Structure 1
Amino acid sequence: MNLVELNIDTIPLGQPLPFALRGVAGALLAQKGYVIRTPKELEILLARGQTLCVDTDESGDSFRAFKAHLQNMLMSDKPLGMISSMTMHATLAQEDAADRERKTPHWPTWQARLTQLMRTPDPDSFLPRFENMHQGLARHCAEAPDATLLALVQMSAEETRHYCATHAMLVAAVCMISARETLRWPEERIHQIGRAGLSMNLGMGHLQDDLAQQITPLSATQAQAVEDHALRSEQMLRDLGVTDEVWLQGVRGHHLRAPGRLAEKTAGDQLARMIQRADIFGARIAPRANRHPMSVTSAMQASYYDETKSVDEAGAALIKSLGIYPPGAWVKLASGETAVVVRRGTTAATPKVAVLVNKEGMPTGEPIPRDTAHPNWKISAPVAQRDVRVRLPLDRLLEINC
C-alpha cells in the first residue's frame, strides 16, 4: 500500500470519486464512484480518517487522472492555495512512459498535454512532444478506431474549457480513420493528415478555448485572428522546424472552401479538404457558452454536402467510414429506449449500441447491449446529447463490449 495525502479542496463534490479514499492508516473511507455531495459529508470522512489519502498501488489509472485534473486547474488559473498541499508529482517523461504502456489512453491526460503544447509551443521540445502525441493517437486509431471515436465524440460533445485540444484530436482521428478505411491512402499520407489535423489551430490555441466559453460576439481583433489562424499556424510550424510541405499545405488550406474531386487536387489540398470537412463535423457537435451543440448525426450530414449543396467526396468518405451514427452518438430505438452508439455495425445505419434509458425514461442502471440491425431495436431517430439525462463516466463507457 502506497498512501499519498490529498488536498481536500481538490476532491470533487457532487461527482463520482475517481478513486477510493482511505484514511491515514489505510482504512477504506469511500469506494471509487461514491458521490460526496456536501462539504459536511467531506468533513465527516476527514474526521473518520484523520486525513484523506489515495493508495496509488490500487489506483494507478485514477492517480494519472487526478494529476491531469490538477494540471487543468493550473491552466485555468485556479488559486495556488487549492493545490499547495498536493504531494503527487510526476515528470513528463514518466507520464509519457505510463501512457505508452497503457492499452487504452487516459484521454484527459492526453487532452491536458495537447492543450499545454498548443498554448505554449516550446521550440526546443515541441516536435518530439508533438510527434509522441501524434504517434499515440495514430496507433490507437489503427488498433481501436471505435473506442477512439467513442471517447473523442463524447469528450467533444461535453467540452468547452479545453476545446482546442479535444477538437484537434477528434479531427485528426476522423481523418486518419477515413484515410485508412475508405480512401486507402498509404501509411505516410495517413500520418501526414493526422499531423496536420492535430496542428491546424496552433495559431489560435488559447483563443479557441476562450471563444468556446465566450457569450459575446467576437471583437474585431478576435475575428481577424480567426481569419488569419491557418496562415499563422503554418508559419509557426515552420518556425518550430516542420519541413513536410504536404503537412504544411494541409494546415494552410484547411479553411478554404474548395469543393471538387479529391483526385484533381494536390496531396496537400486533399489533406486540407478532408480536414475542412472533419472540422465542420467536430465544431457542430461541440457546445458553446451561447449555443447548444447539434446531434452527432446532424453534424455528420452537415459535412456531407459541399458549398454548392452537392455531395462532397471528402464528406462522403467521412460518413462511409464513421457511419450515419458513429460511436459516441445518442439514438432512440424502435423499442422506445435511448442508447449510445459504442461500435460501428455491418452497415452505416446499424451500429452496436448500449441502452442507458429504458422506454419509460428511467436509467437502466447497467448498460444493455443492442444490435440495431435487429428490427425490434432499429434506430428511429438521433438524440441530442443535451436531451440525455443520464451519464456514464467515459472509462465506464469504454468498457462496454457490444
Structure 2
Amino acid sequence: MHLVPISAESIRIGHPLPFPLMDKDGVLLAKKDFVVGSKADLDDFSKRGGGLYIDVADSEAHHRAYIGRLHGLVNDEKALGEIAGTKLAGTTLGERASAGVVDDGKPDWLDLQEQCNYLLRDSNPAQFMDRLERLHGLLERHMLRNPDGVLFALIHLSASEKRRYSATHAMLVSAMCGLAAREVLNWPPEVVALLAKAALTMNLGMTDLQDRLALQTEAPSPAQRAQIDNHAEKSVEMLKALGVTNVHWLQAVREHHTQTPGPLKAKTGAERMARLIQRADMFAARLAPRASRQPISPAAAMQACYFDEERKVDEAGAALIKAVGIYQPGSFVRLATDEIAVVIKRGANTTTPRVAVLVNRSGIPTVEPTIRETSLPDYRIVASVAHREVKVQVNLEKMLPLTAVPASDRPW
C-alpha cells in the first residue's frame, strides 16, 4: 500500500468521507462514509495519527472531494485568497499546478501483490470491504488504461514464481474475468465489478493452504484435501462475516468449482459468473508453477478451459480466449524465423499478437527486444513455448512500457 499525505483543509466537515482516512502507518482512523462532525474532530484525527493519509488508489476520490470543497467555498462567498490557499495532499492548488504533479498510472506489481496478500488474510470486518474496494478500483483502473500490461505482468508472475501464489492467482482470475465480461460478453459495468470482486475472494477459505501447496513437494494430505474440497463454502462463510451481503457474489463464490456445462443463457446471473470464474481459475492454476509439478504453456492452459466436461466448446472458456488471445501477453512463442519472443500486446485476432524477440535464431539473447508483428507471414507464430524452457530473465520494468496503449488510442 502506498500512502500519500492530505491536508485537513481538503476534508469537508459534515459530509461523508469518500475514502478511508489512515495514519502514517496505515492504521485506519475513519472508515469511508464516516461523517467528520467538526474541525476539532478532524484536528484530533490528525494529531493522533501523525497527520492524515489516504491510499494512493483513492487519490481520484480525494481529488473529487477537493473540487467539492472548492465549490463549497465559492458558494459560501469566501475570499479568493482563502480559496487559492485550500490544500490538496499537502500542497496548494497553485503549488500543485506549478509542480506539474500528475498520476503516471504505472502499477507497482510487487505492491499490488502485497495488498492482495494482506487483503486475503484480513479478518477485520471494519476494514476488509474498504481494502477490497481500493484494490479492485486500482486493478480496474489499470485494466482500463492498459489491459495488455496487466495481463503481461500477472501471467509472467504466475508462470515464473511461487511467492504469494494466492494473491497473484486471485488478481489474474479477476482481471481475465473482468476483461471477458466487459469486452466479449458485454455484461453491464455493475455486473463486471461484482464478478471481479467475487473472483478476487473466491479462495478466501484456503489462502494459507494455497500458498503452502505451491511450495509443497508431496501430494495433499487427507486433511488438506478436505480443506480444498470445502473451501468454497468456507469462503462464503468468511465473506458473510466480513460484511458481504450480495447474494449473487456469494453464490458465484460458492459455485465456482461446480461443473455445469451448457450455454450461459440457460444459467442464472450468479451461475454465469461462477462459470466464468471456474474457467479462468482452471487456466490460471495450470499456468502457475508448484514445487510438485511444472506449469504448462499458456496456450495449452487456455486450450484446457476451451472445452467443457462433455468435450464441447465452452461458452465461458471461448469468451476468455477471445478476450485475452490464444497467445496472451506475458507468454512466450516461437516464430517462423526460429526466434523466441514474448507476447506484449493482443492482436487484431486471437492468433496474431505483437511480440518482442528475446532470443535470436542462433539461441543468443538479444541486447534489446526487437518488435515483431506476427500477422506478417515471415513472423508468424509456429509454437507456444513454456516459461520453463526460456532461460532469459524478463525485466518487468523494461518490458511493460512496450505494452502501453498510445494516448491517441485510449477511449477517454
TM-score range, shorter chain: 0.7 to 0.9
CA distance in 2, matches of 1:142, 1:96: 14
- Tell me if the contact between 2:201 and 2:235 (Cα under 8 Å) persists in the aligned partners: yes
Q: Which residue of 1 aligns with 2:380?
A: 378
1:203 aligns with 2:177: no
- CA shift in 2, pair 1:338/1:279, >3 Å: same
Q: For residues 91 and 226 of structure 1, do their structure 2 counterparts lie closer, same or farther at Cα, with a shift above 3 Å needed?
A: farther
Q: Counterparts in 2 of 1:147-158, with a 5 A limit?
A: 147-158=149-160
Distance in 2, matches of 1:204 and 1:278, equals 18
Indicate the residue corresponding to 2:130 in structure 1.
128
In 1: Cα distance, 2:403 partner to 2:122 partner: 38
> What letter matches 2:212 in structure 1?
D
Provide the C-alpha distance between the structure 2 equivalents of 1:97 and 1:361, rounded to a whole number of angstroms. Answer: 46
Q: What CA deviation, in whole Å up to 9, does each residue of 1:175-215 have, x standing for no partner? A: 00000110000001100110000000011111100011100
Task: State the match for 1:331 in structure 2.
Answer: 333
1:360 to 359, 362, 367: 362
The answer on whether the counterparts of 2:174 and 2:199 sit within 8 Å (CA) in structure 1 is yes
Change beyond 3 A, Cα 1:92–1:276: farther
Name the amino acid aligned to 1:373.
Answer: S
Aligned to 1:66: none
- Give the SS at the match of 1:270: helix
Q: CA deviation at 1:226?
A: 0.5
Moved more, 90-99 or 168-177: 90-99
1-structure distance, mates of 2:122, 2:58: 22
2:322 maps to 320
Distance in structure 1 (CA, Å) of the matches to 2:350 and 2:110: 29
One-letter amino acid of the counterpart of residue 215, structure 2: Q
1:179 aligns with 2:181: yes
Which of residues 275, 297, 322 in structure 1 aligns to 2:277? 275
Distance between the aligned counterparts of 2:295 and 2:378, measured in 1?
A: 29
Superposed, which structure 2 residues align to 1:1-20 within 5 Å? none
The structural deviation recorded for 1:244 is: 1.1
User: 8 Å contact 1:142–1:177 — kept in the other structure?
Assistant: no
2:149–2:403 Cα contact (<8 Å) kept: no
CA contact (8 A) 2:58 2:134 kept: no
| Other-structure match for 1:224 | 226
Kindly report which structure 2 residues correspond to 1:1-400, keeping only aligned pairs within 5 A, or say none.
93=54, 96=57, 101-400=103-402
Indicate conservation of the 8 Å contact 1:330/1:339, yes or no. Answer: yes
Offset, 1:104: 1.9
TM-score by length of 2: 0.74
**Corresponding residue SS for 1:328:** coil
Contact map agreement 1:274 1:315 (CA 8 A) in 2? yes
Deviation at 1:368, TM superposition (A): 0.3
Residue 227 of structure 1: SS of its match in structure 2? helix
Is the CA contact 1:99–1:105 (under 8 Å) kept in the aligned structure 2? Answer: no
Q: Using a 3 Å threshold, how does the CA distance of structure 1 residues 181 and 218 change in structure 2: closer, same or farther?
A: same
Contact kept, 8 Å, 1:99 with 1:106, in 2: the verdict is: no
> Judging changes above 3 Å, is the alpha-carbon distance between structure 1 residues 223 and 92 closer, same or farther for their aligned structure 2 residues?
farther
Q: CA deviation at 1:247?
A: 1.0
Structure 1 length-normalised TM:
0.75
Report % sequence identity: 47
SS of the residue corresponding to residue 153 of structure 2 reads helix
The structure, 1 or 2, with the larger RCO (C-alpha pairs under 8 Å, 6+ apart) is 2
Q: Distance in 2 between matches of 1:230 and 1:92?
A: 35
**Distance of 2:394 and 2:162 partners within structure 1:** 19
CA contact under 8 A between 1:367 and 1:400: conserved in structure 2?
no
Q: Residue 160 of structure 2: SS of its match in structure 1?
A: coil
Letter in 1 for 2:390: V
Alignment deviations for residues 49-95 of structure 1 (CA, whole Å, 9 cap, x no partner): xxxxxxxxxxxxxxxxxxxxxxxxxxxxxxxxxxxxxxxxx998456
Q: CA RMSD in A?
A: 2.0
Question: Which residue pairs with 1:63 in the alignment?
Answer: none
SS in 2 for 1:103: coil
CA distance in 1, matches of 2:202, 2:178: 14
Compute the displacement of 1:96 (Å).
Answer: 4.7
Mark the CA change 1:252 to 1:94 in structure 2 (over 3 Å): closer, same or farther: closer
Structure 2 Cα separation of the partners of residues 271 and 99 of structure 1 = 29
What's the CA shift for 1:99? 11
- Relative distance call for 1:102 and 1:112 in structure 2 (3 A) is farther
Which structure's CA Rg is the greater one? 2
- What is the distance in 2 between the residues matched to 1:224 and 1:99? 43
